[in-house]
Amino acid sequence: MHLSHKKLLLSAIIIALLGLLALLLVLVIGRDSGGSDITISVEDLAEMKELAHEYLNERKRAIVSNTPDNDANVADAPVIDPSDMSTELTKRQKEDVGKLLSGGELKVFSDFAVYTKVLDIVEKGDDVVLCLRATTFYRNTADPDIYTSTATDRYFTFTRMGDGWILADVKLTCAGTMPPEDEPNVKPNDKGTSRVLEDLPAYITEVPKEIEGLDEAATRMIINEWALDEEAANNYH
């Protein structure tokens, strides 16, 4: 039995629509994986990661020592300059670091190293948002062979300023029942605050290859900086 012209035409349309749908799915998957959306350079990412580390270093130093500028173990750790942050973030950083320094807790660590991994990159106009998983390795003061490690996910927002970048905002993905040790102004289960996201984002289990490659190249560019590289963190194992 021969198909009518109408049925042939309908079949052709259906096939064409299915092909278009398959193409759209490929494009969506490509966008979700960060493929064609990523336009920042390795140099851009290296600069952003340095700022993120300097922001974290200033907090971690205050956890390790009550007088970090005079502590040989951490005095050379680069910290972020207020001019490299937004006004609001500068205010928050000063408040948080001040609380960490004056908290009076027993300082049980002698030094630290921070390693960050880029989980996601989202570009929004002149802003770039990095989802970073920061792992901090602390060496125990009483026994240097003992170390403690903690990992925290944060969203770092960077805004282009001239030829460079400033760190505009930082938010935890989740406060949880035990907020990170370097967030003295975050209460358990906080959300929707200046320091914590409103909604918990989907947990990232697999980093797209393009982002991994860009991150590895950027990390190699800053490998000689204090406590910025994977080798420094691995020395704590």
Question: 131: which residues sit within 8 A by CB, 6+ positions away?
Answer: 118, 119, 120, 121, 122, 153, 154, 155, 173, 201, 204
The candidate with the shortest Cα–Cα distance to 226, out of 43, 56, 18, is 56
**Average pLDDT value over all residues in the chain:** 85
Residues 222 and 54 sit within 8 Å (Cβ to Cβ): no
Question: 234: which residues sit within 8 A by CB, 6+ positions away?
Answer: none
Q: What is the mean pLDDT of residues 59-74?
A: 93
Helix/strand number for the chain, H first, E second = 5, 4
**The pLDDT of residue 225 is above 80:** no
**The pLDDT of residue 35 is above 60:** no
Angle among Cα 193, 79, 43 to the nearest 5 degrees reads: 90
Whether pTM exceeds 0.85: no
For residue 2, give the DSSP letter: P
> What are the beta bridge partners of residue 147?
139
**The pLDDT of residue 3 is above 70:** no
What is the number of other CB atoms lying within 10 angstroms of the CB of residue 43?
A: 11
| Structure token pair of residue 97 | 């670091």
Residues 76 and 35 sit within 8 Å (Cβ to Cβ): no
Instruction: Kindly report, residue by residue over 102-146, the tens digit of the pLDDT.
Output: 976 678 898 899 999 999 999 998 899 999 999 999 988 888 778
In what side-by-side order are the strands of the sheet with 109-124? 109-124, 127-140, 147-161, 164-172
Q: Could you list the beta-strand ranges (E) of the chain.
A: 109-124, 127-140, 147-161, 164-172
Instruction: Kindly report, residue by residue over 156-201, the tens digit of the pLDDT.
Output: 999 999 989 999 999 999 999 999 999 999 999 999 999 999 999 9
Distance of CA 54 to the CA centre of its chain: 12
- Look at residue 208 in the predicted model and tell me its pLDDT: 94
Sorted by where each begins, the domain ranges of the chain are 1-32, 40-234
What is the number of other CB atoms lying within 10 angstroms of the CB of residue 67?
A: 12
Share of the chain above pLDDT 70, in %: 78
Q: What is the pLDDT confidence band of residue 23, given thresholds at 50, 70 and 90? A: very low
Question: 8: which residues sit within 8 A by CB, 6+ positions away?
Answer: none
